Amino acid sequence: MSKLKSFFVVLLAFSALLMAGSANAQYAAIMIDAENGNVLHEVNATRPWYPASLTKVMTLYMTFEALSTGRIRLHDSMTASHHASRQPQSKLGLRAGERLTVEEAILALVTRSANDAAVVLAEHLGRTEEWFAAQMTPKPVNGHAHTRFMNATGLPNNFQVTTSRDLAVLAWKIMQNFQTIIRILPAMAFTSKAVNLTESTSLLHATPARKG
């Protein structure tokens, strides 16, 4: 088993808990083997809580799926809507009518957790964020009975809940199903609106051959 891959999955689950806050449980955790998906350790892993920005993991899953089937391409140009431009921080600060590519939007989600970029992707794939969110909930992975998505960003919504198990499995599915796409992500830098955006997480900088 790759310790680095396992670390990625565990980090995702714990980060979600730290960032989101629990809906019903005070503590939850899960560790899975990234090679085969077996659960190695779990505590309250099926208790519901609010995913916050980890919702964007599902937004990325659906984007990667559309790329893998040829429905969209990395260099496709997308236009920011008025709705996308009005998203709160964290964001790129896109104005209505401003354009960016699918690749730029993906990197904005990964490096900045950009809400406006998430909405641009959602509207590009589903015409409206509401329709896109409706596709997010039945889409995922086997066993996601406790997850319900209401938007593409993770902005507050009392009906948007998930579990640490569901998100860990989702992260594992991304690693298993979209390895070709994931290999391009270490670029982790791009220029948008004349602003250079770079990955700056010190933990990832300090981890050789990092993933995730």
Lowest-pLDDT range, 41-50, 92-101, 138-147? 138-147
Q: Taking Cα atoms as reference points, which of 16, 26, 34 lies closest to residue 182?
A: 34
pLDDT in tens, 91-125: 999 999 999 999 999 989 988 899 999 999 999 99
Which percentage of the chain shows pLDDT scores above 70?
A: 70
> What pLDDT shows up at residue 151?
96
| Paired tokens of 117 | 């970029």
Length in residues, the chain? 212
Q: How far apart (Å, rounded) are the C-alpha atoms in residues 117 and 94?
A: 8
Question: Burial, 191: exposed, middle or buried (Cβ in 10 Å; 0-12, 13-18, 19+)?
Answer: exposed
> What pLDDT shows up at residue 192?
43
Contacts (Cβ under 8 Å, ≥6 apart) of 127: none
pLDDT in tens, 167-209: 888 888 888 899 888 777 665 454 444 345 444 333 334 444 4
Q: How much is the average pLDDT of 130-140? A: 82
What pTM, to 2 d.p., does this model score? 0.77
